[in-house]
Amino acid sequence: MPEYSKKKPACTSLLIWDAEGAPPDGEWTPVLWREFVSTAQPDAVSIPALIEINADLFRKRYLAWVYELGEKSIHGKRLVEHLQLRPGFSFWWMTLLAEKCNYSKSKQIVDAIRLMAFDEWATNQSISRVVLSTANQSLAECIRMWCTNLGVVFEWQRITKSIAPFSWVKRMYHAAPHTLQALAWFGQYLIDRWPLRGVGLKEWQQTDGRITFFSYSDNWVPHAAKQGRYESPYWAHLPDTLQQEACKTNWLQLYVKEEKSLSAKQAADRIWAFNNTVRG
């Protein structure tokens, strides 16, 4: 049983605060959706803190939920079977749900786990009204359905989110048919990554390494990369240990394009340098 389940607020109203800064005072119990409790509001409930306390529970629960979704029977066949492309391979395993990448592709996974934590905590509370302050429409719909199922009064205090106006190029892009959008996106993707074509391909074809690691270009240690040495805070001392043990390995680096990241040309130069050093 989660440690927080015994705590019961005096108020029957909740203010779920999904915004910057401190929530306003009122006749409610503040529920911080993305922050930890501060000394200014010691009676608030922090959803991130609840998740941290019961990390294993909610990790297992979320993974089980995704798995059970794939095993869901529809017209006598599992969803995995409905999406089967060939024997032993289903498109389900290529979907964003199955991939579970909350880093960049499926950022709503974080809110899904927060909803699980909130539901677990709220089970033992006496709640008659929920006020939600957020700019997230998807979150508002989920909380609204949760309240409807339990007969709880729901109120959404929509927060206006400032959005920079689109340039005329982006306006034309979004106004174009989806097929043209896809072609334009793919063309831009090729142009951005064209310097990476063929980089390390010869070494990959000739490798006798039996173990392959997949990593990302945005976690290279800059000073080491400039010297042609592969170091990463994600892998810590593992590359050095493998080198010391004379363990032959392959490293497939996935290029990540961000505002402050290396260009594709710079990333290609670093990969060439890695391959030309003993430690690469």
Asked which of 34-48, 161-175, 238-252 is least confident by mean pLDDT, the reply is 161-175
**Average pLDDT score over the chain:** 88
> Which amino acid does the sequence have at 197?
R
Given a cut of 50, whether residue 1 has pLDDT beyond it is no
CA 117 to chain centre: 17
If DSSP codes are grouped into helix, strand and coil, which group holds residue 279?
coil
pLDDT at 60: 96
246-263: average pLDDT: 86
Of 77, 74, 80, whose CA–CA distance to 97 is shortest? Answer: 80
pLDDT in tens, 223-237: 888 888 888 998 989
- pLDDT value at residue 2: 53
What is the pLDDT averaged over residues 160-188?
86
- Written as one letter, the residue type at 138 is S
Burial 8-37 (b: 16+ CB within 10 A, else e): ebebebbbbbbbeeebeeeebbbbbbebee
pLDDT of 129-173, one tens digit each? 999 999 999 999 999 999 999 999 999 999 887 666 778 888 888
